[in-house]
Amino acid sequence: MTISMLEESLLSLDGEYRESLAHCLVEKKYLSDTPLQLSLGTEKQQKELEEVYNQVLTQKQVNEIVDYISNEMKDDFQYNSFKRIVSEYYNRKEELEINI
């Protein structure tokens, strides 16, 4: 899974979930600045954003990001939808590991 894939899975939810993802990426030092600022920045900044968003994440990194978003959004009315999205990801991952 990549950050781009994770962000894409959040498109069905309010923008607050993608904002929470962006805050996580800056706070956990995945990115040097917000995705919006980097996307509007220099070529070097845009390259940083692209590389981070397309880097394959370890399971630990995915868990860290999901936990961050979960803590930020736990009182949101769409939180159960978010948990279903996360659950579907983990189920697909388990299926892929079984089939290998």
**For the stretch 17-42, what's the b/e string if a residue is b when 16 or more beta carbons lie within 10 angstroms of its beta carbon?**
bbbbbbebbeeeebbeebbeebeebe
Q: Read off the tokens for 29.
A: 């030092």
Distances (CA, A) of 92 to 23, 30, 53, 66, 95: 26, 25, 21, 16, 5
Instruction: Give the pTM.
Output: 0.83
54-98 pLDDT, tens per residue? 999 998 999 999 999 999 999 999 999 999 998 887 777 655 454
Range of the domain at 87: 3-99
Q: Which residue type, as a one-letter code, is found at position 4?
A: S
Q: How many structural domains comprise the chain?
A: 1
23-66 pLDDT, tens per residue? 999 999 999 888 888 888 889 988 998 999 999 999 899 999 99
Distances (CA, A) of 89 to 5, 31, 64: 10, 24, 15
